[in-house]
Structure 1
Amino acid sequence: MVVDALASQFGASWVSEKRWDCALAKFGGGWLLKPLTYMNLSGEAVSAVSRFYKIEPGEVLAVYDDVDLPLGSLRIRQKGSAGGHNGVRSLISHLGGEDFPRLKVGIAPEGGRPAGDRMVGHVLGRFTEGERPALAQVLDRASDAVRTALRSGIANAMNIFNRKEQSNNETTEKP
């Protein structure tokens, strides 16, 4: 959803690339990519496109859902482990290490991380009507975070977006 929003904001169109099993959208500052594989194989497309266009892992900004973060939260990291996320595990494996920036978009429901069989249903399911306002807000913030990272670097984006947005528009760091 985030990369679709970015493509729209950049006026970029998606093109299916069967050779890499992904959809690509070219914009002024680079490429947006959506793997068309199962999530746990997403690193294959990212690494193939990166090799073809000579993009270093540190220049890749992975955007993905995180069921350990509440819906509406963002976390930007310069590098890190997979944290149990199979898609990130695939990226690490195919990019040759953990040294690539990432934007984690929280999708956990109000009650916290779903357990057992409910996890798959939540991750692959649709957002509820009650979750839609928080979803719209986090999609806007995530798009802003990517644009900020492109414009002024990951460290600056981390300083701005790794904060919880308050109702009075002030920001405070999350514990």
Structure 2
Amino acid sequence: MKMLVGLGNPGSKYEKTRHNIGFRFLDLLAKTEGLSFGSAPRFQADTATTTMNGEKVLLVKPQTFMNNSGESVAPLAKYYDIEPSNITVIYDDLDLPSGKLRIKSGGGHGGHNGLRSLNQHLPNADYTRVKIGIGRPPSGDITPWVLGGADEGDHAVELRLFDALLPQIPLLILGERDKAANKIHQTLQS
């Protein structure tokens, strides 16, 4: 079994914030696949299950708030016996400009509190990261930026990235990161 995690904060207050880009992507994927999320209170998560390329895939939206995402993801991974290398995490990245997307495996948290929590609770940090750029604010504190709503331009850029990423999720699930990244890049260049 594989796990696809979208990071965000629960509740309608946060739905449209930059920080909830992972939740929005999983919502789009679920809609495309005809899935609906159900509550898994034991794991503090909303989950859905599907099959891609013959692999069973658990979609996870932690309901612990971003900074405690590992408290949801790690128990689910343990329960379903999913190694970190079989987990893909989609999240916002301040250090990437809006409209950019990067895929990598393993590494540190880079100051992202959701990843910090995952790294603390999972046995290792070998999961795949799909970083979706939100850019940094022109000045000042980053908290109002990440918890602020994206404007119409940001929304259009987000949808363009989602359209490029969505068809490549089956490749990512199979561990074909480079192939998926190349196809996404080609789509975004056209």
Same fold (TM over 0.5): yes
Is contact 2:161-2:188 (8 Å) kept?
no
Closer, same or farther: CA 73–122 of 1 in aligned 2, 3 Å? same
Closer, same or farther: CA 39–127 of 1 in aligned 2, 3 Å? same
| Rg larger in structure | 1
Unmatched runs of 5 consecutive residues or more in structure 2: 1-23
Closer, same or farther: CA 61–17 of 1 in aligned 2, 3 Å? same
Give the % identical residues. Answer: 37
Pick from 165, 178, 184 the counterpart of residue 142 of structure 1: 165
Structure 1 residue aligned with 2:13: none
Structure 1: how far apart are the matches of 2:34 and 2:89?
20
Q: Does residue 63 of structure 1 match 2:86?
A: no
Is contact 2:164-2:188 (8 Å) kept?
no
**1:39-54 correspondence to structure 2 within 5 Å:** 39-54=66-81
Structure 1: how far apart are the matches of 2:186 and 2:113?
26
- Shift of residue 68, structure 1, vs aligned partner: 1.0
Look up the equivalent residue of 1:105 and give its one-letter code: I
Give the TM-score, by structure 2 length: 0.78
Structure 2 residue aligned with 1:102: 129
Unmatched runs of 5 consecutive residues or more in structure 1: 170-175
Structure 2 residue aligned with 1:79: 106
Pick from 41, 45, 65 the counterpart of residue 18 of structure 1: 41
Q: Give the alignment's Cα RMSD to 1 decimal.
A: 1.9
Structure 1: how far apart are the matches of 2:181 and 2:170?
12
SS in 1 for 2:171: helix
Structure 2: how far apart are the matches of 1:98 and 1:4?
25
**1:149-168 correspondence to structure 2 within 5 Å:** 149-150=172-173, 153-161=176-184, 165-166=188-189
Between 54-63 and 70-79, report the one with greater CA deviation. Answer: 70-79
- Shift of residue 27, structure 1, vs aligned partner: 0.8
Look up the equivalent residue of 2:110 and give its one-letter code: G
Q: How many pairs are equivalent?
A: 163
Higher relative contact order (CA 8 A, sep 6+): 2
